[in-house]
Amino acid sequence: MSAIISTQPYLCQFNQLGHNAKGECMGPKADVQGGITAAMPGGSWLGALVSGFLSDRFGRKTSIQIGSVIWIVGSIIVCASVNIPMLAVGRIINGFSVGICSAQVPVYISELAPPSKRGRLVGFQQWAITWGILIMFFICYGSSFLDGTAAFRLPWGLQMIPAALLFLALFFLPESPRWLAKKDRWEESKAVLTLVHGKGDPNSPWVNREMEEIRDMVEFERRNADVTYMELVKPNMINRTLVGVFTQIWSQLTGMNVMMYYITYVFTMAGLGSDVLLPSGIQFVINVVMTVPALLWMDAWGRRPTLLVGAFFMCLWLCVNAGLFAVYSRPPYPGEFTSASESMSVSGAPAKAIIAATYLFVASYAPTWGPVSWTYPPELFPLRQRGKAVALCTSANWAFNFALAYFVPPAFVNITWKTYVVFAVFCFAMFWHVFFMFPETANKPLEEVEEIFDGTKPGSVRYIGTPAWKTHNTRKAVLKAERNQLDADEKLQFGHQEHTGSEERAAAAV
């Protein structure tokens, strides 16, 4: 949407405000544009809630394929849109798909990944998202040079292609071994673990140990009733549920959606005028590049330090932008801009500083809250509750995504630069919330994270959980254990080869 909402073909097709002094279409009203943009995260909220039922019943992989099919249906309606209601309905259907996939893809990856690589692999999902945003932005930019409605119908049609590829490619990927074990498909579960962790050796001690951990957890959870959403707010679960839900809420309240959805508004107000699309695209390049450090070092950094550093720097750059707009902006002249949401005008050095601070904000979000907000929630919950719990957390993400997508255009109209102050206050609050309430989960096996919150394990005695600020990253210990396990595997393999060789020599002697 960010590359399309400022183009004349879009503004003329969905025009409500008539024409300005230059004869240009003014497009939808600010609140209507907010509603169009918010339609997709609104559908995503519902899709995320439903995804827990789909995932538990049909599996992680199949639920993602269902989401792919729904996306194609929504994209067809969006591509064919002739009025605002049709466009909004198509985006709601698209959002339903995004809600399913965004909730279950992190679960799927987390349940396949070894502990020391889990953050990196879920981070690759976020990196893929940034690539998708970047590619589609420049497809939209190229399409903006086309005449008529093809300028927005072409990119809205092309977005069906990745969904079709995802649907087909998943046939070649394994199902989650933990979900298979939950359904008593133990042989299939072990086969998947052998494939992804045992390097094809079904007798690998690493595979056998993980199978035992999964078996113990499944048997423990079966002694309890089937999980419901109400169980997630019971006293023994409310703490981790709030942490997971607020991880997703805070990721939206950072203000990143201001940069993603409405960046063309910001840069137009910063004096870039009709040349706004290409400079806006730079922030999407920054988003891709700056996600790479998280892929390389997120598991080494840990979750807590990454979130704290991100909140601090995002608060800083939001305050800088708020101050620059407050001091140096003026109301736009009649006909200067095409959207009522472009309510301030800045020029000269302050405008360049606003653009620079915006880029730095994106560079602060990309390696911190961007990937960690998707990595963290699946690590908080036991297997039995993970599907619905992550669905609930993701639904909170999309609920606030919906609210902010709708809120920002009218906010720029009514409170102008104070919009940045609102998000800066959120970043300040999230810093302290993370510090006091968010425990470190990096490099800990999923079955052991439960001890952090309430000290319970199957067959153990309950004790008070560890305070969040006293939890630490155990990456070195995990890597050491993995190296020791690999050494043990090699010794076993070497011993087996030696034993086989001695038998052959004895046979030859006889």
* Tens digits of residue pLDDT in 440-449: 888 777 666 7
pLDDT of residue 461: 40
Residue 459 lies in a domain: no
Whether the CB-CB separation of 430 and 292 falls below 8 Å is answered with no
408 with 502, same domain?
no
| Same structural domain, 382 and 501 | no
Confidence grade of residue 342 (pLDDT, cut at 50, 70, 90)? confident
Query: Is residue 408 included in any domain, yes or no?
Result: yes
Which H or E run includes 299?
helix 277-301
Residue 381, pLDDT > 70, answer yes
- The β-bridge partners of 19 are 25
User: Would 460 be classed as within a structural domain?
Assistant: no
Residue 154 lies in a domain: yes
Residue 469 covered by a domain: no
Q: How far apart are CA 19 and CA 460, in angstroms?
A: 71
Predicted confidence band of residue 459 (pLDDT cuts 50, 70, 90): very low
Which residue did the predictor score with more confidence, 474 or 14?
Answer: 14
State the Cα–Cα distance between residues 56 and 107, nearest whole angstrom: 11
For residue 221, is pLDDT > 90?
A: no
Mean pLDDT of the 197-201 span:
80
Name the more confident of 48 and 73: 73
Q: What is the mean pLDDT of the chain?
A: 85
Q: 482 and 436 in one domain?
A: no
Amino acid identity, residue 139? I
**Domain-located, residue 267:** yes
pLDDT at 362 over 80: yes
Is 491 found in the same domain as 426?
no
Tell me: pLDDT of 76 over 60.
yes
Which positions ≥6 away from 446 have C-beta within 8 Å? 110, 111, 115, 178, 378, 379, 382, 383, 386
- Kindly state whether residues 362 and 481 are assigned to the same domain: no
Q: Look at residue 397 and tell me if it is in a domain.
A: yes
For residue 280, name the pLDDT band (cuts at 50, 70, 90): confident
Q: What is the number of domains present in the chain?
A: 2
Q: Are residues 81 and 178 in the same domain?
A: yes
- 209 pLDDT more than 70: yes
315 and 345 share a domain? yes
pLDDT of residue 36: 92
Q: Using CA atoms, how far apart are residues 162 and 71, in angstroms rounded to an integer?
A: 10
Could you list the residue range(s) of the whole structural domain that residue 496 is in? 474-509
Residues 439 and 492 in one domain: no
Selection from 34-38, 250-254, 464-468 with the highest mean pLDDT: 250-254
Residues 425 and 492 in one domain: no
Residue 268 lies in a domain: yes
Domain containing 82 — which CATH number?
1.20.1250.20
497 and 386 within one domain: no
> Helix or strand or coil: residue 297?
helix
SS3 of residue 25 by DSSP: strand
The most confident of the ranges 196-200, 288-292, 299-303 is 288-292
Instruction: Please give the residue that has the higher pLDDT: either 217 or 283.
Output: 283
Predicted confidence band at 414 (pLDDT cuts at 50, 70, 90)?
A: very high
Summarize pLDDT for 110-127 with one digit per residue, the tens.
888 877 777 788 878 888
Q: Are residues 356 and 493 in the same domain?
A: no
Judgement on whether residues 275 and 216 belong to the same structural domain of the protein: yes
Share of the chain above pLDDT 90, in %: 39
On whether the CB atoms of residues 108 and 386 are closer than 8 A, the answer is no
